[in-house]
Amino acid sequence: MTEDIPTRMMEAGLAPQPLFHPRTEWAFTIAINLDKPYQVRPSLYGKSERWAVYLKDGKFWGPEIKGVVVPFSGADWPIWREDGVIDFDARYILQTDDGATIYMQNRGYRWAEKAYMEAMSRNEEVPFDKYYMRVAPKFEAPAGKYEWLSKHVFIGVAEKVPKGNCIHYFKVL
């Protein structure tokens, strides 16, 4: 019978550690400008609020990709939860310089101390190390030059800038 080594280690009080950690490489950065937010308030879902923030426009660039975010091609429909965390669900269209159309969906979270969250909602600059803003995108890209987007997991480290976001995406290798 094959011995279950991880279970045996845990029973002995030893937590097995992974043999490796994921590596990442920068894939691209996207800078987007956002339109005026709309709020559903009060919400019937407790103290959480649903928002709609439409995308005005944007640009993206990286070693293998460059283009624009199609103006008003989508929006973010975040929920501002009772615990102060913003739960993102953004969807929009990217258009590469060579004409490829790519659908993008971003899920993630932003949170900080209350004073910093309030400052960001007033479009004031807040130092990057004073908040957490991370996303996990998913892409639908055409076959060929950009299909790598549809074959990898990515993480995004986002910066809240006045009237928009700047998100740096990393491919998990």
CA distance linking residue 153 with residue 151, whole number of Å: 7
For residue 145, give the nearest of 99, 106, 104 by alpha carbon: 99
**108: containing domain:** 31-172
pLDDT digits (tens, 9 = 90+) for 57-93: 999 999 999 999 999 999 999 988 888 899 999 999 9
Inside any domain, residue 19: no
pLDDT score for 50:
81
Lowest-pLDDT choice from 9-18, 70-79, 156-165: 9-18
Q: Of 102 and 84, which is predicted with more confidence? A: 102
Within-domain flag for 8:
no
CATH number, domain of 44, equals 2.40.160.20
In a domain, 56, yes or no: yes
Average pLDDT on 145-157 reads: 97
- Max mean pLDDT range (2-6, 20-24, 125-129, 130-134): 130-134
DSSP state string for 131-151: EEEEEEEEEE--SSTTGGGGS
Task: Confirm whether 10 is domain-assigned.
Answer: no
39-58 pLDDT, tens digit per residue, is 877 666 666 778 889 999 99
| Inside any domain, residue 113 | yes
Q: Would you state the pLDDT for residue 43? A: 64
Number of folded domains in the chain? 1
Q: In this model, does residue 1 exceed pLDDT 60?
A: no
Tell me: pLDDT of 131 over 90.
yes
What span, in angstroms and rounded, lies between the C-alpha atoms of 130 and 38?
Answer: 25
pLDDT at 5: 65
Top pLDDT among 57 and 122 is at 57
Instruction: Report pLDDT for 103.
Output: 98
For residue 43, is it within any domain?
yes
Residue 69 · residue 103 · CB < 8 Å: no
Residue 24 covered by a domain = no
Residue 44 in domain = yes
Residue ranges of the alpha helices (H) in 85-171?
114-121
